[in-house]
Structure 1
């Protein structure tokens, strides 16, 4: 059983064999690749919520959690890690719905994730091949589809839309916030800010070369939607130097928080990287950020 330590997956030198809990976590719907024994996954009750799997226009599947009480609520798009929409992401949606949001988690990888391979595989090469097929413009198109769907729902306040994402989804959050004016605020959890470091000269070529595209570094100066970025000082794949460089590029268009004792994935309560203090502080900041920037919880 492997644990995610970097935005693009896990480097062999980071492998950590957990001692228990795989069978239980798999049964509960958590991704096999990332499960760990040292953390106890949070399970948010669903009382008072509507939870459903829906199909958005164009065939895009999504998980939705929202308050059962009638009314229009602010909406938060929840962007998954590289493991897809597994139980952790669904629980994030429940947590947001409990606060008074409509939370929508689109299945960005569904086109290649036949049979939900991402939920059960521990083969990094298989996983990354699936993730690599979700190209930037396709992902942005899926965000656009989700926004269009939202405007047609009687339970969504269309002028109160935010986005949050974790790991792979953290980078998507930055890029979507720069693309879509309908998104009023974003919260990016440890999303890559710059292209990954090139491989060493003697390293074999990657099986799936990274897509040539822009990163948050490239769009920071023109960012109009405010983004809160939450990062770990012990992240093996996102150097603290990148966070500081992004802070300089960002100026007053957003805010960055660096937790010095937190690793990559510090919010993921089902993994050994979970840091309760950093996770709780980040969650409180998320709520305050959305409220301050036009995406308050509760009925419109």
Structure 2
């Protein structure tokens, strides 16, 4: 099953979400978007995880500002994505993520996010108790979000060439949380896991994807 659906948050906000699932599912997964919305790429990400046996939901986190945002990867798209993100209260975004998890009828739920969503998946792991495991892909805000302990097992995936997340900041994060699995991929830049971007690195993507699947297989 693949469909668009609606989620209602605790503050009565109605937001769209993309849902993908198969039969005989025993665990749920929340996929958190980049700054480009729940676009074609994120929908493919959801479908790929659903093919691995998860009931997947991806909330449209821009809905509080603008509905039906599905951007591409040109400079104008990047600028619009940053503009939309800047208009959203981070605590409201957390309510959206919690509502997405509560939509899934399972005792074990994971979260995985990319870019903006990578930082948000870290927030979800440190500021809520609803997730059983979290995988954070190139979340640039993570080094500024080290004030809370994580409440579930966490992986982080970074590109060694990613100028938005300097290696010394990654090392700072590693020292702060020595029980978090942190992986750095050589010759990989920001967005290395997105096939729609020029920075896509198939080797790094396959390694990070397999590690993410192994994490979820262990804890979900």
Instruction: Give the TM-score taking structure 2 as reference length.
Output: 0.91
- Alignment RMSD (CA, Å): 1.8
Gaps of 5+ in 1: 1-49, 152-157, 196-214, 296-300
Instruction: Tell me the residue number matched to 1:40.
Output: none
Tell me the secondary structure at the aligned position of residue 107 of structure 2: strand
| TM-score (normalised: structure 1) | 0.68
Q: How does 1:138-287 map to 2 (within 5 A)?
A: 138-151=92-105, 158-194=106-142, 215-219=144-148, 222-252=149-179, 254-287=180-213
d(CA) in 2 for partners of 1:229, 1:180 = 18
- Show the 5 A alignment for 1:123-138: 123=76, 124-138=78-92
2:34 counterpart of 1:88: no
Aligned residues: 215
1:233 and 1:261 in contact (8 A); partners too: yes
Offset from partner CA, 1:28-81 (integer Å, 9 cap, x none): xxxxxxxxxxxxxxxxxxxxxx000000113111000000x2x44211100000
Report the counterpart of residue 210 of structure 1 in structure 2: none
Distance 1:72 1:99, change over 3 A: closer
Q: Unaligned stretches of 5+ in structure 2?
A: none
Closer/same/farther in 2, CA of residues 266 and 247 from structure 1, 3 Å limit: same
Alignment partner of 1:73 is 2:26: yes
The 3-state SS of whatever aligns with 1:280 is helix
| Cα deviation, residue 125, structure 1 | 4.0
Matched residues in 2 for 1:77 and 1:282: separation? 17
Q: Which has the higher contact order (CA 8 A, sep 6+)?
A: 1
Q: Aligned partners of 2:66, 2:196: CA distance in 1, in Å?
A: 22
* Off by >3 Å, runs of 4+ in structure 1: 117-122, 124-127
